[in-house]
A and B are shown apart, each in its own frame.
Chain A
Amino acid sequence: MGQINLLQAVHDALREEMARDERVFLLGEDIGAMGGVFRTTVGLLEEFGEERVIDTPLAESAIVGVAIGASVNGMLPVAEIQFADFIYPAVNQIVSEAAKWRYRTNGAQGCPIVVRAPYGGGVHGGPYHSQSVESLFFGIPGLKIVVPATPYDAKGLLKAAIRDPDPVLFFEHKKSYRLVKGEVPDEDYVVPIGKARVSRPGRDLTLVAYGLMAHYSLEAAEAVAEDGIDVEVVDLRTLAPLDTEAILESVKKTSKVLIVHEDNLTGGVGAEVAALVGQEAFDYLDGPITRLASPDIPAMPFSAALEEFAMPTADKIKQALRDLAAY
Chain B
Amino acid sequence: MAMTLKELAIKKPVALDLYRKMVLIRRFEEKASEMYGRAKIGGFLHLYIGEEAVAVGTIPPLEPRDYIVTHYREHGHALARGLETRRIMAELFGKATGTSKGKGGSMHLFDASKGFMGGYAIVGAMMPIATGLALASNYRDEGRICLCIFGDGAVNEGEFHESFNLAALWNLPVLFLLENNGFGMGTSVKRAHAGKEMCHLADAFGIPSEMVDGMDVLAVREAAIRAINHVRSGKGPFFLEAITYRFRGHSMADPVAYRDKEEEQEWKRRDPVVTFRRELLQSRAASEENIAKIEHSVDEEIAEAVAFADASPNPAHDEMFKDIYRE
- B66-77: CB near A (< 8 Å → 1, else 0) gives 010000000000
Q: How far is the CB of A65 from chain B (nearest CB, A)?
A: 2
Given A59-B165, A59-B166, A166-B325, residue A69 in contact with residue B112 (CB < 8 A): no
Of residues 50 through 103 on chain A, the ones whose CB sits less than 8 Å from some CB of chain B are: 51, 56-57, 59, 61-62, 64-75, 77, 89, 92-93, 96-97, 102-103
Q: How far is the CB of B4 from chain A (nearest CB, A)?
A: 39
Q: How far is the CB of A193 from chain B (nearest CB, A)?
A: 10
Q: Is the CB of A65 within 8 A of B125?
A: yes
Given A69-B131, A102-B323, residue A93 in contact with residue B125 (CB < 8 A): yes
- A32-59: CB near B (< 8 Å → 1, else 0) gives 0000000000000000000100001101
Chain A neighbourhood of B128, CB < 8 A: 61-62, 64-66, 68-69, 93
Q: Is the CB of B139 within 8 A of A105?
A: no
Q: How far is the CB of B323 from chain A (nearest CB, A)?
A: 4
Q: Is the CB of B125 within 8 A of A73?
A: no
Query: Chain A interface residue count: which class?
Result: 35 or more
Asked if B221 CB lies within 8 Å of chain A CBs, one says no
Chain A neighbourhood of B324, CB < 8 A: 102-103, 141-142
Asked if A120 CB lies within 8 Å of chain B CBs, one says no
Q: Is the CB of B139 within 8 A of A75?
A: yes
Given A92-B122, A102-B323, A102-B324, residue A109 in contact with residue B166 (CB < 8 A): no
Chain B neighbourhood of A73, CB < 8 A: 67, 132-133, 136-137, 140
Q: How far is the CB of A239 from chain B (nearest CB, A)?
A: 14
Q: Is the CB of B112 within 8 A of A108?
A: yes
User: Residue among B104, B110, B135, B165 with the most chain A CB within 10 A?
Assistant: B135
Given A57-B166, A75-B139, residue A69 in contact with residue B326 (CB < 8 A): no
Given A62-B163, A89-B158, residue A165 in contact with residue B326 (CB < 8 A): yes
Contact of B129 among A56, A74, A89, A97 (CB under 8 A): A97
Contact of B131 among A65, A89, A241 (CB under 8 A): A65
Asked if B322 CB lies within 8 Å of chain A CBs, one says yes
Q: Total A-B pairs in contact (CB under 8 Å)?
A: 129
Q: Is the CB of A166 within 8 A of B326?
A: yes
Across the interface, name the chain A residue whose C-beta is closest to B108. Answer: A104
Across the interface, name the chain B residue whose C-beta is closest to A58. Answer: B162
Q: Is the CB of A70 within 8 A of B132?
A: yes
Given A59-B162, A72-B117, residue A65 in contact with residue B103 (CB < 8 A): no
Asked if A301 CB lies within 8 Å of chain B CBs, one says no
Q: Is the CB of A70 within 8 A of B112?
A: no
Q: Is the CB of A65 within 8 A of B132?
A: yes
Q: For the complex, give the distance between the alpha carbons of A67 and B133 in Å.
A: 9
Across the interface, name the chain A residue whose C-beta is closest to B325. Answer: A166
Q: For the complex, give the distance between the alpha carbons of A259 and B59 in Å.
A: 55
Q: How far is the CB of B124 from chain A (nearest CB, A)?
A: 9
Asked if A151 CB lies within 8 Å of chain B CBs, one says no
Asked if A110 CB lies within 8 Å of chain B CBs, one says yes
Q: For the complex, give the distance between the alpha carbons of A67 and B129 in Å.
A: 7
Q: Is the CB of B133 within 8 A of A72?
A: yes
Q: How far is the CB of A52 from chain B (nearest CB, A)?
A: 8
Q: Which residues of A pack against B, CB within 8 Å?
A: 25, 51, 56-57, 59, 61-62, 64-75, 77, 89, 92-93, 96-97, 102-110, 141-142, 144, 165-166, 241
The 8 listed contacts between A and B (C-beta, < 8 Å) are: A57-B162, A69-B131, A72-B129, A73-B67, A73-B133, A75-B140, A97-B122, A142-B325
* List of 7 A-B pairs having minimum Cβ-Cβ separation, nearest first: A69-B132, A65-B128, A73-B136, A62-B162, A66-B132, A107-B323, A70-B136
Q: A66-B166, A70-B135, A97-B129 are in contact. List 13 more A-B contacts (CB 8 A).
A: A59-B162, A62-B162, A62-B165, A65-B159, A66-B131, A68-B129, A71-B132, A71-B136, A75-B139, A105-B112, A106-B110, A141-B324, A142-B325
